[in-house]
Amino acid sequence: MTKTAEKAVEEKLMKDHPLEPYLRMDRIPHIWCPTCGIGTVVSCFIQAVIETATDVDKLCIVSGIGCTARVPGYLKMDSYHTTHGRSIAFATGLKLANPELEVVVISGDGDLIAIGGNHFIHAARRNLDIKVICVNNFIYGMTGGQVAPTTPLTANCSTTPYGNSETPFSLPYLAASCGATYVARWTSLHIRRMTRAFNEVLRKRGFSFVEVIAPCSTLYARRNKLGTGLSLLKYYHDNSEIAHGHDVKDLDIGYQEKIKVGKFIDEDKPTHIDRANVWHTKVFGDRYNWYGPKPPGMEEAK
C-alpha cells in the first residue's frame, strides 16, 4: 500500500471505527502507556456490549482510582469515577437504589483488592448483581510501581526494591470463596475468550468476576527487566494454560511462571435483592410490593 492509501485507510478507520459510538472520542488520546494491557479490555468490553445488545442507556460503569479506573472516562455511558477503593460500595448504592440498572465495575487490583478488599468480599458474599472486571497488572501503576496485594513473590517494586516477600492473593480463589457466581481469568491478549467472558457476565444475574492479567509496560516490565510491554503481553498469553473448571485453590501466580486461565465458576444463585424480595413477600404477603424486576421464570408469578 502506498503512503497515501495507508493514510486513507487510517482516516476511514478513525472516522468509521465500529467502537466509536461507545467511546468519548473528545477524550482521545487516552492516558495509558504504549503496550499497556488495559486497552484490549476496553475494546473487548465494548464488543461484548454490542454482541449482547445491552441497553447502553441503562449501563453504568463505576471505577475507583488508578490506571484502570480511568476506563469509565473513555466509555460513552453513564460513568462514575469515584474514590480509591470505593467503587464496589458506590456500585452497591447505584444498583440497590435502581435495580433496573446494569452496573459494571472496572478497576485495578490495588483499588479493588487492597484498599477496596472489604467491599469486594462483602459484595460477593451478598451476591449483589454487579459485574466486576479487575485488570491485574501486579503493581500500583499510577503512583509509580509500588507493591500490590497481587505482586508475585520476588518481583521488584518501588517499595520492594530487593524483591517482594509478601504472599499475594489469588483473585479467583478469593472471589469464589466469598460466593461469586461467575469467576474467570484471562490475559489481555486472550481477545476472543475475554470478549466471550464479558458476554457471559453481561448476561449473568449475580456477582460476576473477571480477572484480566495485563502487563504494566512502564513500571512492572521495566523494573523487572522483562522487556517491553508488548513482549510481556505475549509472554503472559503464551505461558497461560487453559484450565476451565480448575480447582480454585490451585490458581496462584508465581513470578514469571505459568498462569492458569479459564472459567472456574459459573453457577446460579438468588441475588441480594431477590432474597430480600422473596423473604419480605413471605413476611408481609400482599402488603409487600416486589422491589425491582423479577428474576427470569418469576415474571408472571404473584
- Rounded to 5°, the CA angle 83-64-193 comes to 175
Determine if 91 is a binding residue for other proteins (CB under 8 A): yes
Single out the residue of 247, 250, 288, 298 in contact with other proteins (rule: CB under 8 A): 288
- Among residue numbers 196 through 215, which ones bind other proteins (CB under 8 A)? none
Sole window of 145-153, 172-180, 260-268, 271-279 interacting with other proteins (rule: CB under 8 A): 271-279
18 binds other proteins (CB under 8 A): no
How far is Cα 238 from Cα 234, in angstroms, rounded to an integer?
Answer: 6
The CB-of-62 to other proteins minimum distance in angstroms stands at: 8
What whole-number distance in Å separates Cα of residue 151 and Cα of residue 137? Answer: 8
* CB burial of residue 40 (10 Å; 0-12, 13-18, 19+): buried
Sign, CA dihedral 292-78-56-262, equals negative
**Contact 293/100 with Cβ under 8 angstroms?**
yes
- Residue from 225, 282, 289, 297 in contact with other proteins (CB under 8 A): 289
Cell of 147: 507493591
User: How many residues form the binding site for other proteins (CB under 8 A)?
Assistant: 45
Of 33, 36, 44, 90, the one binding other proteins by CB under 8 A? 90
Asked if 19 interacts with other proteins (CB under 8 A), we say no
Assess contact for 103 and 70: CB atoms under 8 A: no
Among 97, 257, 296, 299, indicate the residue that binds other proteins (CB under 8 A). 97
For residue 284 the three cell numbers come to 408481609
- Sort residue 289 into left (φ over 0), alpha (ψ -120 to 50) or beta: beta
Q: How far is the CB of 209 from other proteins (least distance, A)?
A: 17
Q: Is 276 in the site for other proteins (CB under 8 A)?
A: yes
Candidates 7-15, 229-237, 238-246, 277-285: pick the segment binding other proteins (CB under 8 A).
277-285
H or E element, residue 223: helix 222-223
Interface with other proteins (CB under 8 A):
24, 26-27, 56-58, 60, 62, 72-73, 76-83, 85-86, 89-98, 100-101, 118-119, 122, 272-273, 276, 280, 283-284, 287-289, 291
